[in-house]
Structure 1
């Protein structure tokens, strides 16, 4: 009798499955860093805006957030509070689209406001950090 040498269908399926799982793992590990960085910047900005909004309401002092060429700044907070808040993006490639000035208080209702941020490496991808004036600032992709 002849014995044919080769692989069984089950062995081939197992190898193909292992290759597929390895490909998915590599794809997830190599996720676009500028996209991840932009999402991180937007979430950080939303948290900073909420922090400044709470400080404005607590002190009764009007606070503004303004984009600058180097990053951004908070205006109106007491000197100690302003020093505690950052003034630059984590990634120098992050930019604000348009001239964004947000008024953060001291009134509890501030009106709808938004800021659009993007990354120089992917100018077509923009995230919106916005509030309707009642709810906290949230991050959403620009449609």
Structure 2
């Protein structure tokens, strides 16, 4: 006489739990807020641009800086000042609704010194904020935005 098994094995249960976890992870990524994704892209792009300009300023020995456009300026949302003429940098945000504020200064200093001092910039899109900061030695990175 053979006994018939009832129920599921541990392996079968683990496979089902793994499939559910993968499905939940994929669905949470698909439901991500579009503004948050756009702001993350803006921050990554601006961080790369700032580091590129910083390297160019150091290589050329020029006191370069990053400035936001003043009210009424139609040339762009921001500009890189005093880089070598051959270096062409963008002047617009990826999303026209993006705005920024440099904390505690009119511009970000980018060089030519290797130590540029601690600096912060807040990016805003709709209700979202991201802060890019450097301690003056390391690169510009996204940091926790302080709550008001």
Q: Does TM, scored on the shorter chain, surpass 0.5?
A: yes
1:38-90 residue CA offsets vs partner (Å, 9 max, x unmatched): 01111111111110000000000110100115421000012221x2x111111
Q: How big is the alpha-carbon RMSD for the aligned residues of Structure 1 and Structure 2? A: 2.4
Divergent runs of 4+, >2 A: 17-28, 97-100
- Per-residue CA deviations over 1:88-122 (Å, capped at 9, x if unaligned) read 11111110135751010101111111111110x22
Q: Which residue of 2 aligns with 1:13?
A: none
The answer to whether 1:76 aligns with 2:82 is yes
**Number of equivalences:** 126
CA distance in 1: counterparts of 2:32 and 2:100, whole angstroms: 23
Structure 1 spans left out of the alignment, 5+ residues? 1-8, 11-16
Aligned mates of 2:58, 2:108 — CA distance in 1:
15
Does residue 112 in structure 1 map to residue 118 in structure 2? yes
Q: What is the aligned counterpart of 2:143 among 137, 140, 143? A: 140
Instruction: Report deviation, 1:141.
Output: 3.0
For 1:50 and 1:40, the matched residues in 2 are separated by 15
Query: Are the equivalent residues in 2 in contact too, given 1:100–1:115 (CA < 8 A)?
Result: no
Task: State the alpha-carbon separation in 1 of the partners of residues 112 and 99 from structure 2.
Answer: 27
Distance 1:24 1:133 in 2: 37
1:102 aligns with 2:105: no
